[in-house]
Each structure stands twice: as C-alpha cells, then as structure tokens.
C-alpha cells in the first residue's frame, strides 16, 4: 500500500473572538506520496487555511480540533523549534505573490542558498551548486539569474525562482497557494505546468490551492472541492469534472466554462497524467 503523505482528519477551526466564527468544519482529506491534490473553491472556502495547516500554521486566535499528520507526524502537536525543523526538512510553500517571498535588498543567490545553508548545513559552494541545478530544472539560466536582484526579473521569472527555491531543499511535499494568480495568462499556464513537471521529477507530492477548477484539472490527480469551510466533494479529476455529485461543483464547472468559452465538459483539460506530460 502506498505510504500516506498526509492525513487531515476532522479538522475544525473556530475563531475565539467575536461570535466564534467557524472557518473550517470537520475537514478530512489525504494524499499518497507523489500524488497531486487540488483544493478548489471560491474565496473564503477554507482552501488556504487547510493547506497551511499541513505546515502547522493555524490562526493564533482559533480553537483547533482534529488531526493533521504529515509523513506520520502530528504537526499540530509539535513545539515551535521542532515544527520549524520539520518544515525545513519536508515541506515547502510557494506563495501567491513571489515578490512577497524575497528580500529586495538581497540578490537571488542569497535567497536561493540561505535556507539550504541554514537547514541542511551545506557549504556555500554546495548550496550554490544545488541552487543552479534547481534553476535549470525550472528552465532558467543559472549564471544570469544568480547574479540578479528580484527587481531585475519579471514576475513570471521570479515565480520560477521561488519554485526553484522550494525544489532546492528537496521537500517531500510542495504546497502551492494560488501560485499563478498575480501572473498574466501565458505565465500562469507555464508556472502551473512547471509545478507538476517538477513535482513528478522529484517525486514530491503537490497540493495546489486555486479557485480555478480548470487550472487544477490540468495538473492534479484528485480534486477536493470546498465551500464555506467544508469539503463538499472529492474524487479523481475525471470523476469530479465529468460526473460531479454536488450542485456547487456543477456550478463551478459551468462558471469556468462560461469564462473560458468551452462548450462541453470535454473541452476541459484531459486527465492529469496526460496534461502533465504534454
């Protein structure tokens, strides 16, 4: 049986302040090693909150119930120092805005190598070598990019740099939180395709957070549809796209078809395996 990559069981979060708003309601989701999962739904659905719980990141003002296990470790029970070490060794987060992830005062070489030197105890030369390899994996010229500062590269290129930084530390799990929203349409398609190729090449599992079901369908093996803090449907990409059970899922599909101009559900991307190798 395939090793579980992560298991979220009956996760509930309720804000303590005000009227005690519940932001997650009994969320349960899991993935196997190397699997790509898409968390999809409108803003406020709980997608990012669920994904960040895999990093042990929960709102400080929330009461949290349930279990979050990553590689068999209950991350919600770890003390801060142990949690930081666990993240550094196993999980990488790719955030929505790449410019928020980098320090504009430091060159890209520093951004790419400092985490490896701090968390993997690598020499400067070895960290630079790994950084160069990671840049090559995402289709960038290592020598040119390593000499650059963040303001000297485009948004699409910088997002590739952020992906390279995640790949360089060799995580078991990649979490991409709306990684292409700030980019133009062409760059969006490139970044999403790149994420899946890199995940497959490295054997890492992938959690993609997005409001766009079409984007998720192009790279994910399974889809988890969320609404108002709850999971309303989960299944293989083909199953959810072509045989949706929930009315909300059907509405998402129809909305995406209307925006994209598709005339039939078969106009959506093919299964994740075919798309990933295109």
**DSSP label at 5?**
E
pLDDT above 80 (res 123): yes
Contact 196, 276 (CB under 8 A): yes
Contact 91, 171 (CB under 8 A): yes
The predicted model gives 86-97 an average pLDDT of: 89
Strands across the sheet with 62-70, in order? 22-32, 4-15, 62-70, 73-74
Q: How far apart are the first and last CA of the chain?
A: 29
Q: For strand 222-227 and strand 36-40, is the pairing parallel, antiparallel, or unpaired?
A: parallel
Distance, CA of 231 to chain centre? 18
Reference 133, options 122, 211, 89; nearest CA is 122
What pLDDT score was predicted for residue 262? 55
What pLDDT score was predicted for residue 272? 40
pLDDT above 90 (res 232): yes
pLDDT above 90 (res 198): no
Question: Would the CA dihedral through 206, 193, 165, 43 be positive or negative?
Answer: negative
pLDDT above 60 (res 270): no
pLDDT above 90 (res 106): yes
pLDDT above 60 (res 162): yes
Contact 215, 248 (CB under 8 A): no
Which of 35-49, 66-80, 152-166, 222-236 is the least confident region?
152-166
Cα distance between residue 96 and residue 101, in whole Å: 9
Cα distance between residue 221 and residue 37, in whole Å: 6
**DSSP label at 116?**
H
pLDDT above 90 (res 187): no
What pLDDT score was predicted for residue 201? 84
Can you spell out the DSSP letters for 150-210?
GGGS-HHHHHHHHHHHHHHT--SEEEEESTTTTS-HHHHHHHHHHHHHHHHHHT-EEEEEE
Q: What is the mean pLDDT of the chain?
A: 87
Can you spell out the DSSP letters for 229-268?
TEEEEEEEHHHHHHS--SHHHHHHHHHHHHHHT-SSGGGS
Q: In 24-107, which ranges are continuous DSSP H helix?
A: 47-53, 80-90
CATH number of 84-276: 3.40.50.300
Q: In which band, very low, low, confident or very high, does the pLDDT at 115 lie, cut at 50, 70 and 90?
A: confident
Annotated domain spans of the chain: 84-276
Identify which has the larger pLDDT, 246 or 274: 246
What pLDDT score was predicted for residue 183? 66
Q: In which band, very low, low, confident or very high, does the pLDDT at 69 lie, cut at 50, 70 and 90?
A: very high
pLDDT above 50 (res 128): yes
Q: For the whole model, what pTM was predicted?
A: 0.86
**160 — phi, psi (to 5°)?**
-65, -40
Identify which has the larger pLDDT, 257 or 41: 41
What pLDDT score was predicted for residue 250? 94
What pLDDT score was predicted for residue 240? 96
Q: How far is CA 155 from CA 101, 158, 210, in A?
A: 12, 5, 18
CA dihedral 203, 51, 257, 218 (to 10 degrees): 0
Q: In which band, very low, low, confident or very high, does the pLDDT at 100 lie, cut at 50, 70 and 90?
A: confident
């Amino acid at each position: 049986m395939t090793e579980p990559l992560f298991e979220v069981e009956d996760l509930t979060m309720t804000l303590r302040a005000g009227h005690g708003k519940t932001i997650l309601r009994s969320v349960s989701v899991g993935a196997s090693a190397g699997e790509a999962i898409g968390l999809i739904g409108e803003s406020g659905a709980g997608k990012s909150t669920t994904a960040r719980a895999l990093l042990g990141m929960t709102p400080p003002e929330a009461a949290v119930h349930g279990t979050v296990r990553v590689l068999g470790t209950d991350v919600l029970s770890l003390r801060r120092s142990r949690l930081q070490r666990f993240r550094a060794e196993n999980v990488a987060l790719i955030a929505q805005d790449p410019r928020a992830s980098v320090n504009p005062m430091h060159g890209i070489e520093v951004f790419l190598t400092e985490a490896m030197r701090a968390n993997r105890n690598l020499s400067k030369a070895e960290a630079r070598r790994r950084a160069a390899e990671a840049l090559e994996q995402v289709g960038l010229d290592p020598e040119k990019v390593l000499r650059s500062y963040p303001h000297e590269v485009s948004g699409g290129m910088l997002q590739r740099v952020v992906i390279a930084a995640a790949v360089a530390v060799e995580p078991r799990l990649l979490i991409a939180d709306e990684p292409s929203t700030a980019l133009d349409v062409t760059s969006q398609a490139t970044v999403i395709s790149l994420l899946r190729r890199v995940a497959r090449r490295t054997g890492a599992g992938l959690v993609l957070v997005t409001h766009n079901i079409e984007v998720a369908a192009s790279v994910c093996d399974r889809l988890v549809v969320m609404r108002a803090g709850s999971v309303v449907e989960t299944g293989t990409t083909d199953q959810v796209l072509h045989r949706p059970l929930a009315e909300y899922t059907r509405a998402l599909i129809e909305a995406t078809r209307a925006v994209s101009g598709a005339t039939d559900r078969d106009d959506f991307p093919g299964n994740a395996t075919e798309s990933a190798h295109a």
